[in-house]
Amino acid sequence: MDLVSFGQTVFAGLANGALYAFVGLGFSLISRSTGIINFAQGEFAMLGAVLTGLLTVHGIPLALAVPTAVLVCGLIGGALHVLAIQRAERANMAQLIIMTIGFSILIRGAVTWGWGSDPIVVPAFTGSRPLDFFGVTILPQALWLIGTLAIVTVLMWLFFHRTVIGLALRAGAANPLGAAFVGIDHKRLGAYSFVAAGLLGGLGGAVWAPIAFAQVDLGVALSLKGFTAAALGGFGTTFGPIAGGLIFGLVESLSAGFVSSAYQEAIAYGLLLVILIVRPQGLLGTIKRGATDDHRAEVLSAGLMPTRITRSDVVRFAITTVIVLVLGSALTGSWLTSAIFAGITAIVVMGLVLLTGYAGQISLGQGTFMMIGAYSSGYLTLKAGWPAIGALVFGMVLAGAFALVVGRFIFRLRGYYLAMASLSLLMIGQTLARELASITGGPNGLPGIAPFSIFGAQFFTDEQFYYVVLVFSLLTLVAALSIARSRVGRALLAIRSDELAARACGTNVMWLKIGSFVFAAACASLAGSLYVHYLGIANPLPFGFNASIFQIVALTLGGFLSLWGSYIGSAIVLAFPSVIMALGGASTSQASAGLQFLIFGLLLVCVIVVQSNASGRRIAGGVRRVIRLGHRSNVVAA
């Protein structure tokens, strides 16, 4: 690569890096002020870009469009805090993570519903004629971006270190109660920080948009990359996200130039994983011990979960079996299809009940293991002539082994960091699935997979396959229930309640977390295998971040600790598209998908608010006590 191309690559990297820095600054700002990590941060940048684009398309001059768009982003940020976060008084970290994921889905869904996912071209500020700098082509808009970043950085530093309010924000983040005693209202400051983060993200997006284009799908990648920028540089500093963003942008750009543009994403996310595991405080940050080591959770369930198999468990199992059998004969057509997908999703969610509900670890990357199952089944039955059941079991074992290896590293992380790490893993997996064409068939996948068969009996109609899914899901249910209602389940609940005290009782926390992770991975692999036998093709599409969203929504709606709820939550999530279509809420399938996400986002946020709000929990507890079939008595098996 000659010097000019190198210079080109470097400059492109810096320009993208500046955008990541904007998003990262927003992450850092909210984190320093409230301790929350706002998963929706990237969506603010997307909004800034899209709104600017929409306004200019409708004839509004750029000089007016940009500030308007940025202001709207700020307002939305503030609204999210005031309407949702402030009402979730006692939300724990897992609930807050899910709430901000809800924000992200909500914003994305709203934009998709309102506008669609077509890219919008945004005019540049000072014309798009590139400048020439020693042979390197430089877009003036990129200079605008970097310049704006520089100004914003200086202002931010001055704010945090030279104003009283900035000091108050930092104090409030470090010790909200103590700060309250000296008159610092952390609710108001939290709202201001969300507004500011919205402004920052929106500004970055608006100024960057003319360089490429504005599109609704930008948000998720930007959230991840902005998070990487902040993590790489250090969350708690002003210059950290700047340095992190620029470095990250450079790494991404250089790896595209020198290695391959296909693997650029995988390398970038790989970098994030390495940073999180090796140096979570970032390059410029300092490690804050103590607070994170001592994790005591707010009690999640309104009543106590049993840790032995009770009579009510047997009754519920019987009822569940009857219901799913009846549905099998009653459902037809697209409802049957939805039921099949719901059953497959429920299998993944059951694994998540153990991993996220019981063990308290959020994973947004179950798709990775689904892909292992999917490609194992696909490749082994298609290319190696294995029987379907053998390939399926092989996939589960492989997924479990992979989870065992990854778990050792990934469970050094907690909370948001763990969630982001799991998502990075998924992104890397998706890239590998697209690129390792000899095994996976590339982006088009492996077509022509035979329907599921066992001992010669083939299940190729929907009605037949429904029963396959039914049996497998009930088996998974029994396995998960058996674990939950055992001393292991008790230990997991203990760790969730008070990890320090659990350690003092001699529980091996790491192994229990890894064990749950392995179980959840095996469940996901099973689901992935079933998926490809149903669709007849194995490709990466059904196993990406959207699938993770469905799983999280299903888990939240069904109840973190409820295995029965995994059926209910999955059914709701999968029935949604049909319901929306039937109600005529959207004109195109794209808009319908947008509306679906919008409602999912709202549901996630509302459920968390209800769960974590004192009065909300009293209502939920009352409802539960009515439904409960007397868990505490009538123990059946120890």
Partner 1 sequence: MSAPVLQVKDLSVQFGGLRAVDSVSFDVRAAEIVGLIGPNGAGKTTTFNCISGVIVPTAGEIRISGETVTPFAPERACALGVLRTFQNVRLFGELSLRENIMMGAYSAGACGIVSAMLRLARHRRLERLAAERADYWMGRLGLIEYANSAATSLPLGLQRVAEVARAMAANPTIVLLDEPGAGLNKIEKKKLSDVLRSIAAETNCALLVVDHDMDMVMGLVERLVVLDFGKQIAEGTPSEVARNPAVVEAYLGAA
Q: In whole angstroms, how close is the CB of 303 to partner 1 at the nearest point?
A: 8
State how far the Cα of 306 lies from the Cα of 317, in Å rounded to an integer: 15
Q: Write out the two tokens for 561.
A: 């600790």
State how far the Cα of 6 lies from the Cα of 21, in Å rounded to an integer: 22
State how far the Cα of 605 lies from the Cα of 599, in Å rounded to an integer: 10
Parallel/antiparallel/unpaired status of strands 131-133 and 136-138: antiparallel
Residue among 141, 120, 130 at smallest CA distance from 16: 141
What residues have CB less than 8 Å from 509, skipping those under 6 apart?
495, 499, 502, 503
Stretch that binds partner 1, among 164-172, 430-438, 499-507, 588-596 (CB under 8 A): 499-507
Residue among 23, 431, 427, 3 at smallest CA distance from 257: 3
| Binds partner 1 by CB under 8 A, chosen from 487, 618, 625, 628 | 487
Residue among 523, 515, 503 at smallest CA distance from 570: 523
CB nearer partner 1, residue 358 or residue 375: 358
State how far the Cα of 249 lies from the Cα of 14, in Å rounded to an integer: 6
Q: Write out the two tokens for 44.
A: 């603010």
Parallel/antiparallel/unpaired status of strands 452-454 and 446-447: unpaired
CB nearer partner 1, residue 188 or residue 412: 412
Binding to partner 1 (CB under 8 A) within 112-141 occurs at none
CB nearer partner 1, residue 383 or residue 632: 632
CB nearer partner 1, residue 518 or residue 603: 518
DSSP 85: G
Q: Is 500 in the site for partner 1 (CB under 8 A)?
A: yes
E-assigned strand segments in 167-308: none
Q: Is 502 in the site for partner 1 (CB under 8 A)?
A: yes
Q: Is 498 in the site for partner 1 (CB under 8 A)?
A: yes
**Residues in contact with partner 1, total (CB under 8 A)?**
42
| Binds partner 1 by CB under 8 A, chosen from 267, 327, 404, 509 | 509
Stretch that binds partner 1, among 166-174, 202-210, 338-346, 511-519 (CB under 8 A): 511-519
Q: Is 501 in the site for partner 1 (CB under 8 A)?
A: yes
Q: Is 490 in the site for partner 1 (CB under 8 A)?
A: yes
Task: Return the residue matching tokens 């929350």.
Answer: 36
| Binds partner 1 by CB under 8 A, chosen from 515, 528, 540, 544 | 515
* Cα torsion through 130, 131, 136, 142, rounded to 10: -70
- Do 495 and 509 touch, CB atoms closer than 8 A? yes
Q: In whole angstroms, how close is the CB of 519 to partner 1 at the nearest point?
A: 6
Q: Is 497 in the site for partner 1 (CB under 8 A)?
A: yes
Looking at 259-310, list the stretches that DSSP marks H as alpha helix, in order from N- to C-terminal side: 264-278
For residues 198 to 227, the per-residue mask of contacts with partner 1, x marking binding by CB under 8 A and - elsewhere, is ------------------------------
CB nearer partner 1, residue 413 or residue 492: 492
| Binds partner 1 by CB under 8 A, chosen from 322, 405, 505, 636 | 505
Q: Write out the two tokens for 552.
A: 């999280």
CB nearer partner 1, residue 68 or residue 486: 486
Q: Is 90 in the site for partner 1 (CB under 8 A)?
A: no
Q: In whole angstroms, how close is the CB of 484 to partner 1 at the nearest point?
A: 9
Q: Is 593 in the site for partner 1 (CB under 8 A)?
A: no
Q: In whole angstroms, how close is the CB of 288 to partner 1 at the nearest point?
A: 17
Burial bucket for residue 281 (CB in 10 Å: 0-12, 13-18, 19+): middle
The DSSP element (H or E) to which 55 belongs, if any, is helix 41-57
Q: Is 279 in the site for partner 1 (CB under 8 A)?
A: no
CB nearer partner 1, residue 546 or residue 634: 634
Q: In whole angstroms, how close is the CB of 74 to partner 1 at the nearest point?
A: 39
For residues 613 to 632, the per-residue mask of contacts with partner 1, x marking binding by CB under 8 A and - elsewhere, is -------------------x
Q: Is 526 in the site for partner 1 (CB under 8 A)?
A: no
State how far the Cα of 504 lies from the Cα of 501, in Å rounded to an integer: 5
State how far the Cα of 58 lies from the Cα of 483, in Å rounded to an integer: 58
Q: In Å, how far from its chain's centre is CA 334?
A: 28
For residues 445 to 484, the per-residue mask of contacts with partner 1, x marking binding by CB under 8 A and - elsewhere, is ----------------------------------x--xx-
Q: Is 56 in the site for partner 1 (CB under 8 A)?
A: no
- Do 227 and 197 touch, CB atoms closer than 8 A? no
The DSSP element (H or E) to which 457 belongs, if any, is strand 457-459
Binding to partner 1 (CB under 8 A) within 295-334 occurs at 296-297, 299-301, 304-305, 307-308
Q: Provide the 3-class DSSP secondary structure of residue 453.
A: strand
Stretch that binds partner 1, among 259-267, 405-413, 462-470, 502-510 (CB under 8 A): 502-510
| Binds partner 1 by CB under 8 A, chosen from 164, 457, 504, 626 | 504
> What type of residue sits at position 629?
L
Q: Contact positions toward partner 1, by CB under 8 A?
A: 296-297, 299-301, 304-305, 307-308, 479, 482-483, 486-491, 493-494, 496-498, 500-509, 511-512, 515-516, 518-519, 632, 637-638
